[in-house]
Amino acid sequence: MAKMNAINNKSGSLTLDPGASGDSFIQFDINTTGEFRIGVDDDDLDKFKISQGSALGSNDTMVITAAGEITYPLTSAFCASVTAWGGTNVTGDGTDYTIAFTTEYFDQNSDFDGTSTFTAPVTGKYYITASVLVDEVSACTSSQFKIVTSNRTYKAYVLNVSQYAHAANYQATYSLSALADFDASDTATIHVDLAGGGKVVDIGYGGRGMFSANLVC
Amino acid sequence: MAKINSINNKSQELTIDPGNSGDSFVQFDINTTGEFRIGVDDDDGDAFKISQGSALGSNDTFVVTSAGEITQPLTPAFLAVLNSDISNVTGDGTAYTVVWDTEVFDQNSDFDGTSTFTAPVTGRYLFSWGLTMDALTAGMTVMYGNLVTSNRSYTVFQCDPGSFRSTNDEVGLCFELLCDMDASDTASVQFNVQNGTKVVDLITNGSADTYNFWSGYLVC
């Protein structure tokens, strides 16, 4: 039978123990609505959890395994890649092109729109990583790769891009990362802008281009 | 005298107070086995902790200091570096998986000490790495860098190192990636230089600085 041990006045502690089976937990309600539950999930290897609602094991927001690993299954995190040849003739003449990342590997909390835009669900610091492979850059003399957020734009410049590129087919890879401050509903997109040639630069060879973000704190 | 305030039905509060000294905590047991304890550690700057077992201060998994800093002392995180050169690993198209000679830290023991990180739980992991190569020649016009995971292999850079190598025939590259991994999935760092001979090295320049590194941690 489930039980709650009596308050221990000697040690200033509270011990919860359901007995042979069942969860050991504390329930936080407001006006009889289950808001959060914290405790040990007997049905999931005795992991410690903070869960939304009135049950451990559904809508878990923080999970600590018996080995100490911590996951946050509902916090904001996504990763997507460009589709093979996802953009042709998109820049090269100074055009600022917003890259589409249409292959979504995961989108925990559903904050990526499936194409190009990540929207911060809450105010916080987010870690952003981005990369892309560009093709046909033989005439380009300068370039910028950018993480564009509502608060500011983070840029990487590469000069003499045609020398940096793969000689046989004039392909090159850019990458950039930033720990960025977001307000709730702020957005982030990834841009590439090559100049000095014609609008013949393609992106997405082999699906090579990644965009990821996660809420850090 | 140690005390715990009784549950206040009016405000729905529960206050735990040991008095002059001692921890203030809630213990979660199942069938008398101590599973987790949460509370304030009186012996450690009054930090708030979630700890395994039946004690605050040992096997702490989540710690909030009185200033608000949060650490997760048992969650997976590692850093490996090279302290010695590795010679003649590619240049001829060989896909070389980097063998790291020094483990700086390996919280939770998920890195094998040489090349492979194994995810202990399903989650999202952030990897960062940097490589410094030497002995590149003009003819080496193609290089690929990969993060090889069980779910997929990411070709994260592709370039012509023969063209933009330094006057010392060196090239340095770095990258970061957020990856989805299932429990027991693995990850390793690989690169491949083509159209030359097998003379490309990873170098440390005999310096205490870190020219080659790989790190990863469980994000969420």
Per-residue pLDDT tens, chain A, 217 aa: give them: 344 554 554 556 789 999 999 999 999 988 888 899 999 999 999 999 999 999 999 999 999 999 999 999 999 999 999 987 778 999 999 999 999 999 999 999 999 999 999 999 999 999 999 999 898 888 888 899 999 999 999 988 776 777 777 666 778 888 899 999 999 999 999 999 999 999 999 998 777 899 999 999 9
A66–B52 CB contact, under 8 Å = yes
Ordered alpha helix ranges (H), chain A: 161-164
Q: What is the pLDDT of residue A8?
A: 53
Cα–Cα distance between B211 and A215 in angstroms, integer? 29
What pLDDT is attached to residue A205? 79
Q: What is the pLDDT along chain B (220 residues), one digit of tens a residue?
A: 344 555 555 566 788 888 888 999 999 999 999 999 999 999 999 999 999 999 999 999 999 999 999 999 999 999 999 999 999 999 999 999 999 999 999 999 999 999 999 999 999 999 999 999 999 999 998 899 999 999 999 988 878 888 878 888 998 888 999 999 999 999 999 999 999 999 999 999 877 788 999 999 999 9
| Same-domain check for residues B169 and B112 | yes
Domain that holds residue B154: 77-218
CA distance A145 to A190: 8
Whether B52 sits inside 8 A of A68 (CB atoms) is: yes
Please judge whether B29 and A166 are an interchain contact, meaning their C-beta atoms are less than 8 angstroms apart.
no
Q: Does B210 touch chain A (CB under 8 A)?
A: no
- Structure confidence at residue A4 (pLDDT): 53
Asked if B22 and B60 sit in the same domain, the reply is yes
Residues B7, B92 within the same domain: no
Of the residues B71, B86, B103, the one at which a domain ends: B71
Tell me which of B54, B71, B88 is where a domain ends.
Answer: B71
Q: How many helices (H) and strands (E) does chain A have?
A: 1, 19
* pLDDT confidence of residue A2: 42
Domain match, B199 and B116 both: yes
Q: Are B35 and A68 in contact (CB under 8 A)?
A: no
Q: B14: which 2 tokens? A: 């529960």
The residue type found at B26 is V
How far apart CA A57 and CA A63 sit, in angstroms, is 10
- Same domain as B43, residue B124: no
| The pLDDT of residue B84 | 94
Task: Please tell me whether residues B87 and B129 are part of one structural domain.
Answer: yes
pLDDT digits (tens, 9 = 90+) for B27-45: 999 999 999 999 999 999 9
The pLDDT score that the predictor gives to residue B41 is: 95
B160 vs A contacts (CB less than 8 Å): 163-168, 172
In this complex, how many residue pairs, one in chain A and one in chain B, have their CB atoms less than 8 Å apart? 195
Q: In this structure, are B152 and B120 located in the same domain?
A: yes
- Verify that B66 and B82 share a domain, yes or no: no
Residues 58-117 of A with CB under 8 A from B: 64-73, 75, 77, 79, 105-106, 108
Residue B165 and residue B65 share a domain: no
Which residues, at least 6 apart from B166, have a Cβ–Cβ distance to it below 8 Å? none
Note whether B22 contacts A: Cβ–Cβ < 8 A: yes
Query: Do residues B108 and B184 share a domain?
Result: yes
Backbone angles phi, psi at B163, to 5 degrees: -85, -40
Q: What does the pLDDT read at residue B129?
A: 94
**Is B22 in the same domain as B50?**
yes
d(CA B120, CA B110): 7
What is the number of H-type helices and E-type strands within chain B? 1, 19
Domain boundary among B71, B100, B120: B71
Cα-based distances in Å from B56 to A25, A27, B43, B49 = 18, 22, 9, 7
Fold observed for domain A77-215: Jelly Rolls (2.60.120)
CATH number, domain containing residue B134: 2.60.120.40
Closest residue, chain B, to A30 (C-alpha) = B12
ipTM of the complex: 0.87
Count of the separate structural domains present in chain B: 2
Verify that B87 and B33 share a domain, yes or no: no
